[in-house]
């Protein structure tokens, strides 16, 4: 029988303005021996993931604190073909004040913000303008998102244009074919070029894990992207048939741990796509805390890529305060 543990409340629910205080991952030369040694034990990984939600539930008093913390870790995202400046401005307003003021007060929380606002390049200028003097970074999905199959020079130009428009973080998509053909040198070179084009903007490397074929490929691609200087590794675009999962998360977190042990550089993690329930967010947070420690549960090292998670977290916090759930249509965005 599984025993439920009460995870301690996060040390602080007030890391509101995401400040990157860590030195960036500078990368390292491609180490093909290390890449080849990366293995995964799928059945052990699946067993561990199956038991985690029961073993690491967060109960009552701590739950609200963890959910408030989760809000600060969200890259609040809109990546739709029908995005408009108006929608992006509303999203930014939600990012500035993600929780209804009465709930914020009742919970005794300081002002919260989301970790970032994540949009297509075309919407970067609008988001930057809407977030002026908030300290909330704008993340742009560039490099021919989501497939990453546009000509290489246009992918580089897109990064440069997003940075020039004010994006502080660039979510790049890797070429899946380099992984599927085992061309690690090509993946490394591509990611190095993206990082160079980003300049001071931080690089989140989207692996599109649902298209990589195996957990071993996920582990190897994670290592190669970190060797190439990725500041974050991210699971998915949200557009693949399978997006963030716990097994993929475990593999990527262990790659991050190996890389930190060996190089001393902490790389961030961003699960993205299909994370829409507060209870699932708590499981991800428990896993990252278990695998990497509490330092990683901060906005400079952990983000959820999510378009609708905030909606459910706000509903759960409303229930915590009032004992009632409001209809989800009362939370039209986030």
Ligand X SMILES: O=C[C@H](O)COP(=O)(O)O
| Active site positions, annotated | 171, 234, 270
Counting contacts by CB under 6 A, is residue 140 touching ligand X?
A: no
Mark 56-95 with x for binding to ligand X (rule: CB under 6 A) and - for no binding: ---------------------x-x----------------
Task: Name the residue nearer to ligand X (CB basis): 173 or 179.
Answer: 173
Candidate residues 10, 15, 238, 271; the one interacting with ligand X per rule CB under 6 A: 238
Part in contact with ligand X (CB under 6 A); list of ranges 52-60, 106-114, 130-138, 269-277: 269-277
Figure out which of the listed residues 76, 272, 281, 317 binds ligand X, where binding follows CB under 6 A.
272
**Among 79, 157, 81, residue whose Cα is nearest residue 119:** 79
State which residue, 24 or 239, has the beta carbon closest to ligand X: 239
Which range touches ligand X (CB under 6 A), out of 28-36, 173-181, 246-254, 271-279?
A: 271-279
Q: Taking CB under 6 A as the rule, which mask of x and - marks residues 299-318 in contact with ligand X?
A: ------xxxx----------
Most distant pair of Cα atoms in the chain: their distance:
56
Restricted to residues 104-123, the positions that interact with ligand X (CB under 6 A) are: 118
Site string for ligand X, 179-218 (x = CB under 6 A): ----------------------------------------
- Count residues near ligand X (CB under 6 A): 12
Instruction: Cite the beta strand spans of 142-238 per DSSP E.
Output: 169-173, 202-206, 232-234
* 3-state SS, residue 251: helix
- Nearer to ligand X by Cβ, of 214 and 276: the residue is 276
CB of 118 to ligand X, least distance (A): 6
CB of 207 to ligand X, least distance (A): 12
Cα distances from 67 to residues 84, 250, 268, 314, in angstroms, run: 29, 21, 20, 9
User: What 3-state DSSP class applies to 225?
Assistant: helix
Q: Which is nearer to ligand X, 130 or 306 (CB)?
A: 306
* Cα dihedral 271, 275, 277, 278 in deg (nearest 10): 20
**Cβ neighbours of residue 113 under 8 Å, at least 6 residues apart?**
16, 17, 72, 95, 96, 97, 98, 134, 135, 136
Give one DSSP letter per residue of 70-118, joined into a string. Answer: HHHTEEEE---TT--HHHHHHHHHHHHS-S-HHHHHHTTPPP---SEEE
Question: How far apart, in whole angstroms, are the C-alpha atoms of residue 285 and residue 252?
Answer: 14
Picking from 110, 116, 170, 165, the residue whose alpha carbon sits closest to that of residue 140 is 170
Binding site for ligand X (CB under 6 A): 77, 79, 118, 237-238, 272-274, 305-308
């Amino acid at each position: 029988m599984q025993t439920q543990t009460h995870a301690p409340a996060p040390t602080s629910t007030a890391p509101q303005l995401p400040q990157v205080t860590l030195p960036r991952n500078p990368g390292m030369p491609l180490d093909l021996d290390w890449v080849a040694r990366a293995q995964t034990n799928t059945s052990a990984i699946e067993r561990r993931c199956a038991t985690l939600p029961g073993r690491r539930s967060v109960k009552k008093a701590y739950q609200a604190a963890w959910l408030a913390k989760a809000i600060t870790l969200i890259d609040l995202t809109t990546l739709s073909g029908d995005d408009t400046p108006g929608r992006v401005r509303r999203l930014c307003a939600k990012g500035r004040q993600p929780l209804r003021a009465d709930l914020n007060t009742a919970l005794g929380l300081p002002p919260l913000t989301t970790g970032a606002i994540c949009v297509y390049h075309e919407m970067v200028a609008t988001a930057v303008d809407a977030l002026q003097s908030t300290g909330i970074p704008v993340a742009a999905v560039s490099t021919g998102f989501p497939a990453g199959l546009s000509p290489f020079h246009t992918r580089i130009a897109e990064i440069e244009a997003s940075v020039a428009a004010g994006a502080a973080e660039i979510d790049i998509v890797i070429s899946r074919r380099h992984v599927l053909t085992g061309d690690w040198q090509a993946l490394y070179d591509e990611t190095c070029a993206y990082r160079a084009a980003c300049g001071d903007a931080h690089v989140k490397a989207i692996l599109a894990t649902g298209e990589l074929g195996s957990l071993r490929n996920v582990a190897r691609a994670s290592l190669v992207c970190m060797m190439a200087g990725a500041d974050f590794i991210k699971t998915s675009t949200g557009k693949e048939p399978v997006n963030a999962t716990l097994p993929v998360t475990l593999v990527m977190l262990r790659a991050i741990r190996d890389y930190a042990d060996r190089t001393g550089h902490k790389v961030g993690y961003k699960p993205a796509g299909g994370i829409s329930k507060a209870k699932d967010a708590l499981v991800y947070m428990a896993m990252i805390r278990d695998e990497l420690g509490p330092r990683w549960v901060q906005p400079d090292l952990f983000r959820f890529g999510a378009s609708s998670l905030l909606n459910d977290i706000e509903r759960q916090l409303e229930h915590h305060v009032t004992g009632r759930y409001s209809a989800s249509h009362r939370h039209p965005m986030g």
